[in-house]
Amino acid sequence: LGERVRLEADQREVDGKRVVAHARVKQSRKAVAPLEQERRLYVAELEWVREFEEHSLLRMQEKQQVSSRLIKDLDDLRAEGAAQLRDQGEDESILRDGVKALAELEDKI
């Protein structure tokens, strides 16, 4: 009888420990759920930041390409304008020489 009482006491103690362990596991799961949710939100936010940075980088590259193209176009226009000014200067020089030649011919006539 004493042995049986001792075994039942041991069984109650084991059952009590099992209940405590089960409660702790359940509490741990409850504690992990918000952490898991927070981790998922953090991962989603990191993914959003990564996509934003990638998009920003692409936009910056596009702007850089447009800027380079505009600078090249501006340089081309400057070169074209300089060539036109040279041609205009040559044309004016030819006209002045022609006017001088006409004036000299008029003086001779």
For the chain, what is the domain count?
1
Identify whether 49 is part of a domain. yes
Does residue 57 lie in a domain region? yes
**Spacing of C-alpha 71 from chain mean position:** 23
**Tell me, what DSSP letter sits at residue 1?**
-
Chain segment 55-67, per-residue pLDDT in tens: 999 999 999 999 9
What pTM did the predictor assign? 0.48
pLDDT tens, residue by residue, 1-42:
788 888 999 898 898 888 888 888 888 877 777 778 888 999
Task: Report if residue 94 sits inside a domain.
Answer: no
Q: Using one digit for the tens of pLDDT, what is the confidence trace for 69-98?
A: 999 999 999 999 999 999 999 989 999 999
Structure-block tokens of residue 76: 């081309």
Residue linked to tokens 């084991």: 14
| Predicted confidence (pLDDT) at residue 48 exceeds the cutoff of 90 | yes
Domain that holds residue 29: 1-78
DSSP helix/strand/coil, 90:
helix
Residue 99 pLDDT class (50, 70, 90 cuts): very high
Q: Is residue 103 part of a domain?
A: no
